[in-house]
Amino acid sequence: FDGRDEYMGLSFNKPNQVFSGTGEGDRSIIRLAQDKSEKFHVIVVSDDNRVRNSSRAAGATVISVKKFYEFIR
- Reported as a single tens digit per residue, the pLDDT across 10-65 is 555 555 666 666 666 788 889 999 999 999 999 998 888 999 999 999 999 999 98
Which pLDDT belongs to residue 1? Answer: 55
State the Cα–Cα distance between residues 58 and 73, nearest whole angstrom. 28
Q: Closest Cα to residue 44, out of 20, 13, 11, 8? A: 20
pTM for this predicted structure:
0.71
pLDDT of the residue at 25: 75
